[in-house]
Amino acid sequence: MAGASGYVLKAIRGNELLAAVRDVAARKSLLARTDYGRVATSMRALPFLALARHVVDDGRVLLRLPGNCGYHRACAGGVVAYGADNLGSARPGAGLWSVQVVGECSAYEPTAAELDRFV
């Protein structure tokens, strides 16, 4: 996903807009705490979920999908949902969280530095 977008109503109050901006920043911060999540979109008119690796880079969520299944082609040019959580990795007593982002997905050729972050 080259970037994720959030939408707010234009009749929103200033303090509500500030809260929405902080919410987006908090989601990206949580995503940076885990390496994998699930992407949801459709392929050949059928919905699918696929495991994906992600990095948060300059406000964008970059996804790396297995190339052998064609998932990357199904996602490019469409709207996808991406979710990640710490439900399976949280330590006892740690807070649980789950994040979902929705946005238009586009094909992207990562730089060498971005590829290194996927390792």
State the DSSP H helix or E strand holding residue 53, giving kind and residue range, or none if neither. Answer: strand 46-57
The yes/no answer on whether domain 14-117 falls in CATH 1.10.645.10 is no
pTM above 0.85, yes or no: no
Per-residue confidence (pLDDT) for residue 21, from 0 to 100: 59
Per-residue confidence (pLDDT) for residue 17, from 0 to 100: 53
Q: Which residues contact residue 104 at a Cβ distance below 8 angstroms, ignoring those fewer than 6 apart?
A: 1, 2, 3, 5, 77, 78, 79, 80
- Give percent of the chain above pLDDT 70: 81
Q: Give every residue of the chain whose pLDDT is below 70, as ranges.
A: 1-22
